[in-house]
Amino acid sequence: MKRSIAICFICMAIMLLTGCWDRRETNDLAIITGVALDKTEEGLIELTVEIHSPGGSGNRSEMGGDSGGGKNKTILQTGKGVSLADAMEDLDEKLSRQMLWSHAEAIVISKAFAETGIRDELDFFVRHPEPRLRSYIFISDGKAKEIIALRPSLERSSSEVLIKLAESEVLMKVTLFDLMEMLKGESGTSVLPMVAKSPREQGKAVLETVSYINRSAVLKQGKMIGSINDQLTRGVLWFRNEIKESIVTVKPEEADGYISMDILKGRTVLIPEMDGHRLKMTVKIEMIDDVIQNQTDWNLKELEKLQMLEAALAQKIEQRLTDTLEIVQKELKADIVGFADEFRRKYPEKWKKEKADWEERFATVEVTFDIEAEVLRTGRGSAPQ
């Protein structure tokens, strides 16, 4: 009996001794929703975080009626330092609350920063237990701080805008994890979405506008070397077999207008071939589209017309891919289309030799296309001609 009482007391003491060392009440937390990384002129790292500002339940009634800017309950805070961790310490001094990084799902890096290399600083995000590997990475055209300082009217915060933009998958969607993989990949190149501020409407406050993704940044060994526009980005997505959404408008020969098609399904297979010193790559694409607009007087029920349309579609895609390849292969000399991994997979032994000067070799890869386009749904109804 005495023993069981003693055990009871010991158990209770154990519970008290820990002192709840990991406990963090939400009232003592600053929830970071977005991160912006900039470089100052002195070469220091400028870390700006977007923090959710808790309204408290008293504010709830105001939230409903007030529209526009009133909804945005975020504040910005900036810290500077020689490294990201140093900047964070500086930031910590300026904040009354403990930072919670778990919900920082958007990381914006300025172009200037990216050009000097992001690999070293990303180490912080990977090493720290709180930030998510699934957070989205963006490169900003101007200062990154300006992107997350925006006050969008549709979403609650600018980081939420960024997250939704990435998730819509119209252009690139790159998470921290993807970026790590790209940096580690055979080619050492990576491609990231670029965000820019949309021009503000007249009569609106400076910050009352949104950011949008319009280009993609190309990085080599973690350093930004250039960017490609939205059309080329879609081309890259085709190569990478990541295409989700793409509307193609073609004007078949003999037709009197344009026909637009939306992609239902697209699949790309890269087939590498090493013929002595020559490198060849066959890009095999299968795509299924449906017609979303028909300006012509074509009746697409006719097999002949349909085949012509399909041919035009395949040709259009091929054109787009060739254009992409032109820029990527010749101008940027960055293998962001994933050829390196394919070669390594098929010729692991020979690849070891190629890897050393892949940058040069990549430009010499002869690419042939094998595109199979199918228009599945032509649509029955049509505006009277």
Near other proteins by CB under 8 A: residue from 5, 27, 360, 381: 27
How far apart CA 46 and CA 20 sit, in angstroms, is: 34
- Pick the piece of the chain touching other proteins (CB under 8 A) from 56-64, 114-122, 235-243, 375-383: 56-64
Q: What residues contact 63, with CB distance under 8 A and at least 6 apart?
A: 55, 70, 71
Cβ-based nearer residue to other proteins, 22 or 42:
22
Which burial class, exposed, middle or buried, applies to 286 when counting CB atoms under 10 A from its CB (0-12, 13-18, 19+)? Answer: middle
Angle ∠(346,352,354) on CA atoms, nearest 5: 85
- Pick the piece of the chain touching other proteins (CB under 8 A) from 12-20, 216-224, 271-279, 370-378: 12-20
Cβ-based nearer residue to other proteins, 18 or 202:
18
Under rule CB under 8 A, residue 3 binds other proteins? no
Under rule CB under 8 A, residue 58 binds other proteins? yes
The least CB distance from residue 21 to other proteins, in Å, is 10
Near other proteins by CB under 8 A: residue from 3, 13, 25, 61: 25
Under rule CB under 8 A, residue 24 binds other proteins? yes
Structure tokens at 58: 């008293």
Cβ-based nearer residue to other proteins, 56 or 381:
56
Under rule CB under 8 A, residue 10 binds other proteins? no
How far apart CA 102 and CA 128 sit, in angstroms, is: 10
- Pick the piece of the chain touching other proteins (CB under 8 A) from 58-66, 75-83, 182-190, 265-273: 58-66
Cβ-based nearer residue to other proteins, 24 or 244:
24
How far apart CA 279 and CA 263 sit, in angstroms, is: 31
Cβ-based nearer residue to other proteins, 59 or 221:
59
Task: Identify which of 240, 238, 272 has the alpha carbon closest to the alpha carbon of residue 345.
Answer: 272
Question: Residues 104-123 vs other proteins: string with x where CB under 8 A?
Answer: -x------------------
Near other proteins by CB under 8 A: residue from 71, 80, 103, 119: 103
Structure tokens at 54: 């808790």
Which burial class, exposed, middle or buried, applies to 336 when counting CB atoms under 10 A from its CB (0-12, 13-18, 19+)? Answer: buried
How far apart CA 211 and CA 198 sit, in angstroms, is: 6
Under rule CB under 8 A, residue 26 binds other proteins? yes
Under rule CB under 8 A, residue 130 binds other proteins? yes
The least CB distance from residue 22 to other proteins, in Å, is 5
Structure tokens at 93: 């001094």
- DSSP H or E segment with residue 74: strand 74-81
Identity of residue 155: E
Under rule CB under 8 A, residue 31 binds other proteins? yes
Cβ-based nearer residue to other proteins, 1 or 383:
1
Q: Is the dihedral of CA 108, 110, 111, 114 positive or negative?
A: negative
Residues that bind other proteins (CB under 8 A): 1, 15, 18, 20, 22-27, 29, 31, 33, 52, 54-60, 100, 102-103, 105, 130, 132, 156
